[in-house]
């Protein structure tokens, strides 16, 4: 190449590594169902610039490593498995400067037979996925946990009023609308290793209960209330980021048919949606 070029923020890895892990305690089996992504950053310039692959561990090897480590070690919380993967690659390859391991977990529940949860038969549970994101370099480790696609809807105590208007504003004020969203939230652990499962379940409960009971003036307002509830409940969480679409349920106009519609018949629409995002954090952590 005549003209020199430079690389910035370059890395590679494997995405979509699907893994089901079964642990057997006699007749009682435990099921885990995850999707893993590994990204590596480091001294790979020669591969990009010159086609010299000597520093490139194949992404196929990353996949194999996920399966081999899943076999050799107890599969704990996905945060722990992500840490194991990051540590493995950093420990093995000095030219790798940083590893990002992202894991998302599907929820299963035991089938009930009579009133008893079955030992080895499962059904799909609620649709949200649990997330873990480990970002580890030679000098720092970031552990994030999260939840994606937590679908919630409330039919009362959601208003939207006194907003800014201009000549393109046609929306009416409302004291009582349907509020429907799919919560995606990711939070950072500020140090130490909490009980990951305990905290995750607690955050999920705090999100659901706050959504249910909050007197909402907007999605922004509810987002903040949820963040506040999480930070109050868990000292180990320093900040939490939300992405929440406002999935509109439009009240259908039945007046052409001489019918009223007192909050009964709605048309839910996928597009367009509002999109509300923010990070909520403790003031003490305000360093960046």
* Contact call for residue 123 and a copy of itself (CB under 8 A): yes
Partners of 29 in the β-ladder: 24
Nearer to a copy of itself, 197 or 278 (CB): 278
Q: Which of 25, 115, 140, 164 binds a copy of itself (CB under 8 A)?
A: 164
* Smallest separation, CB 52 to a copy of itself (Å): 7
* Contact call for residue 174 and a copy of itself (CB under 8 A): no
* Smallest separation, CB 169 to a copy of itself (Å): 4
Q: Which of 14, 63, 88, 214 is catalytic?
A: 14
* Smallest separation, CB 232 to a copy of itself (Å): 6
Chain residues 181-220 in contact with a copy of itself, contact rule CB under 8 A: 208-209, 211-213, 215-220
- Using CB under 8 A, count the residues that bind a copy of itself: 143
Own/partner long-range contacts of 200-209 (Cβ < 8 Å, ≥24 apart): 200/77, 200/130, 200/145, 200/147, 202/233, 202/234, 203/145, 203/147, 203/230, 203/233, 203/234, 203/237, 203/240, 204/128, 204/147, 204/150, 206/230, 206/233, 207/147, 207/150, 207/183, 208/150, 208/152
What string marks each residue from 72 to 111 as x (binds a copy of itself by CB under 8 A) or -? x-------------------xx--------------x--x
Residue 64 tokens, joined? 């194999």
* Contact call for residue 235 and a copy of itself (CB under 8 A): no
Residue among 160, 100, 110 at smallest CA distance from 132:
100
Does residue 14 have an active-site annotation?
Answer: yes
* Smallest separation, CB 98 to a copy of itself (Å): 13
Does residue 198 have an active-site annotation?
Answer: no
Residue pair 223/244 in contact (Cβ under 8 Å)? The answer is yes
Residue pair 128/151 in contact (Cβ under 8 Å)? The answer is yes
* Smallest separation, CB 57 to a copy of itself (Å): 5
Chain residues 127-156 in contact with a copy of itself, contact rule CB under 8 A: 127-128, 150-156
Q: Which of 43, 54, 101, 129 binds a copy of itself (CB under 8 A)?
A: 54
Q: Which of 3, 115, 140, 287 binds a copy of itself (CB under 8 A)?
A: 3
- What is the spatial distance between Cα 121 and Cα 8, in angstroms, rounded to a whole number? 48
What string marks each residue from 249 to 288 as x (binds a copy of itself by CB under 8 A) or -? x--x-x-xx-x-x-xxxxxxxxxxxxxxxxxxxxx--x-x
Residue 84 tokens, joined? 């194991």
Burial grade of 227 (CB within 10 A; 0-12, 13-18, 19 or more): buried
Nearer to a copy of itself, 47 or 193 (CB): 47
Does residue 59 have an active-site annotation?
Answer: yes
From the list 69-77, 139-147, 184-192, 193-201, the region that binds a copy of itself by CB under 8 A is 69-77
- What is the spatial distance between Cα 188 and Cα 73, in angstroms, rounded to a whole number? 25
Q: Which of 29, 59, 154, 221 is catalytic?
A: 59
**Cβ neighbours of residue 185 closer than 8 Å, sequence gap 6 or more:** 146, 147, 150, 203, 207, 226, 230, 240, 241, 242, 243
Residue 109: how many other CB atoms lie within 10 Å? 12
Which residues are known to be catalytic?
14, 59, 248
């Amino acid at each position: 190449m005549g003209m020199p070029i430079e690389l910035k923020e370059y890395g590679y890895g494997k995405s979509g590594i699907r893994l089901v892990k079964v642990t057997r305690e006699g007749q009682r089996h435990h099921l885990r169902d995850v999707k893993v992504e590994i990204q590596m950053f480091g001294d790979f310039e020669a591969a990009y610039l010159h086609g010299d692959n000597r520093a490139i561990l194949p992404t196929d090897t990353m996949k194999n490593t996920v399966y081999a480590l899943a076999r050799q070690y107890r599969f704990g919380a996905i945060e722990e498995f992500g840490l194991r993967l990051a540590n493995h690659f950093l420990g093995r390859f000095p030219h790798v400067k940083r590893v990002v391991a992202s894991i998302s977990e599907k929820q299963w529940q035991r089938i009930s037979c009579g009133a008893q949860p079955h030992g080895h038969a499962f059904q799909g549970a609620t649709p949200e996925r649990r997330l873990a994101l480990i970002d580890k370099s030679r000098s720092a480790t970031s552990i994030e946990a999260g939840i994606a696609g937590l679908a919630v809807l409330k039919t009362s105590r959601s208003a939207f009023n006194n907003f800014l208007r201009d000549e393109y504003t046609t929306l009416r004020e409302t004291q009582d609308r349907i509020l429907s969203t799919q919560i995606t939230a990711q939070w950072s652990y500020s140090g130490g290793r909490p009980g990951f499962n305990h905290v995750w379940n607690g955050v999920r409960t705090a999100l659901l209960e706050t959504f249910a009971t909050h007197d909402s003036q907007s999605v922004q307002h509810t987002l903040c209330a949820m963040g506040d509830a999480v930070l109050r409940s868990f000292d180990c969480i320093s900040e939490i980021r939300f992405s929440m679409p406002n999935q509109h349920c439009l009240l259908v106009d039945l007046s052409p048919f001489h019918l009223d519609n007192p909050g009964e018949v709605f048309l839910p629409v996928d597009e367009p949606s509002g999109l509300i995002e923010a990070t909520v954090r403790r003031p003490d952590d305000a360093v960046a």
